[in-house]
Amino acid sequence: MDQWKNFSKGFFKENAVFVLLLGLCPTLGLTTSAVNGLGMGLATTFVLLMSNIVVSLIKRFIPDKVRIPSFIVIIASFVTIVELVMQAYVPDLFAALGLFIPLIVVNCLVLGRAEAFASKNNLVTSAIDGLGMGLGFSMALTILGAVREILGSGSIFGWKFIAGDGMIVFVLAPGAFLVLGYLIVIVNKINKKGA
């Protein structure tokens, strides 16, 4: 039962974006639409889940002196898989996410979970943690992208429901900071009520 606490903490109590403020580069740079946020979140979730599994399996074979470089190689391998699959099956999303896909390798959320959690826990616990933190990251990026898309262009997931252009500031970089700030406040209030 404690393993499922690791799963749920990634959504609110230890959400990477709203609470820990990790992975803000793709969070602020990509979330101009809900589709971009969801796509980046799911790509990161896959890499996080698989790297946590592999790190937990081979942790005792990795010498301490090369632990971090080894984790980076493991993460980079899964990022390459994601990159190739996205390029083959969802080329439009791949083009929209661009340089941010290879940057998953240095995303502090992925490397931090490998170092702080997967290297110290068993396979099942590490997999559940990776899935929970990844889905929480996906949720955060999708919500941020959806709010920015609604306010900035009057649409959600590409479906236009408000005529006109919307408030263009929300599609630009300042809009990312504004929306993120308000969402952090909302999540902190939810966490305080639940505590």
> Helix, strand, or coil here: 104?
helix
pLDDT at position 109? 93
Question: Which backbone phi and psi does 20 adopt, to 5 degrees?
Answer: -85, -15
pLDDT at position 195? 63
> What would the pLDDT profile of 125-166 be if each residue is shown by its tens digit?
999 999 999 999 999 999 999 999 999 999 999 888 888 788
Max CA pair span of the chain: 59
Cβ-proximal residues to 105 (8 Å cutoff; 6+ apart), any chain: 72, 75, 76, 79
Contact status, residue 147 vs residue 157, Cβ threshold 8 Å: no
**Average pLDDT rounded to a whole number, residues 31-44:** 95
pLDDT at position 181? 96
Provide the sign of the torsion angle of the four alpha carbons 42, 183, 26, 13, taken in this order: negative
Q: How does strand 159-160 pair with strand 155-156?
A: antiparallel
The amino acid sitting at 98 is G
pLDDT at position 147? 96
pLDDT at position 184? 96
Distance, in Å, from the CA atom of 166 to the CA atom of 154, rounded to the nearest integer, reads 6
When pLDDT is cut at 50, 70 and 90, the band that residue 124 belongs to is very high
Helix (H) or strand (E) holding 124: helix 123-153
